[in-house]
Structure 1
Amino acid sequence: MESANPKAYAKITENATQAVQEVQQLQSTGYMADQIFVLAHDSDKSERIAHASHAKEVGMKEEGVFDSIANLFRSRGDELRAKIVSLGFTEAEADFYEKQLDLGKVLVIAKKNQP
């Protein structure tokens, strides 16, 4: 499933290499590094991919203070769904994407800054 809602674009990739390639492709089309996010079920993997591709991890700026603090007490699956929703996706989309992350895939999200 690939989403291209007006708020954000998302693509599921099979592995870190494909995620880095997707980030590079998005950057070549005009997205800035701070507009591209990567998510993997393993938080260390998310961090490594974000660093290698010059993308971002979803943080307090995107989630807000309340959700960032709440994530300290959530399961990783709940945390990932909250992060995906914070980038403009529905609960159903977040659930679908989180299940893909459970399978070891990587989610790349590009979001234009809202005026």
Structure 2
Amino acid sequence: MVTKTVENAVQAKSEIETLLSQGYSRDDIYILAHDKHRGEDITEALNTGEVGMKEQGLIDSVKNIFQSRGDELRSKLQSLGLSEQEAANYEKELDKGRLVLIANQQQ
């Protein structure tokens, strides 16, 4: 698993190209942003994976509907393989307006 923090979509695109050259597929790469619409727009523009029911499971997906954005992001980060502490640290980076990229090849 590879986890990176970037400042903007231009940097994200560059990192994604590097990850693709290392054998990751676009479906293995996830981009998270604190602003939900920004994250969705960047995910769509760069054609990367979305953290959904497959990654989170039904219970966590439904639970996220009722959580704060920070709680939802930490849950998504953990569902992609980060520890609780790592998820909390990356959520702080998201609070600063940065993007978090996670590449996790599906076995």
Q: TM-score range by the shorter chain?
A: over 0.9
Higher relative contact order (CA 8 A, sep 6+): 2
Structure 2 unaligned spans of 5+: none
- Displacement of 1:87 in angstroms is 0.8
Identity in percent: 50
Query: Per the alignment, in what secondary structure is the counterpart of residue 97 of structure 1?
Result: helix
* Mapped pair 1:106 → 2:102: no
Query: Per the alignment, in what secondary structure is the counterpart of residue 88 of structure 1?
Result: coil
Q: How many residues align?
A: 107
Q: Following the alignment from structure 1 to structure 2, what is the Cα–Cα distance between the partners of residues 51 and 25?
A: 18
After the TM superposition, list the runs of 4 or more consecutive aligned residues in structure 1 that deviate by more than 2 angstroms: none
What per-residue deviation string (whole Å, max 9, x for no partner) do you get for residues 50-101 of structure 1? 1121111211110000000000000000000000000111000000000000
TM-score normalized with structure 1 length? 0.89
TM-score normalized with structure 2 length? 0.96
Q: Does the CA contact (< 8 Å) of 1:40 and 1:104 recur in 2?
A: yes
Query: Per the alignment, in what secondary structure is the counterpart of residue 97 of structure 2?
Result: coil
Q: Which residue among 8, 31, 46 is the counterpart of 1:15?
A: 8
Q: Does the CA contact (< 8 Å) of 1:10 and 1:107 recur in 2?
A: yes
Structure 1 unaligned spans of 5+: 1-7
1:37 corresponds to which letter in structure 2? Y
Q: Following the alignment from structure 1 to structure 2, what is the Cα–Cα distance between the partners of residues 16 and 64?
A: 28
Q: Which residues of 2 match residues 81-96 of structure 1 at below 5 A?
A: 81-96=74-89
- Displacement of 1:16 in angstroms is 1.6
Partner of 2:54: 61
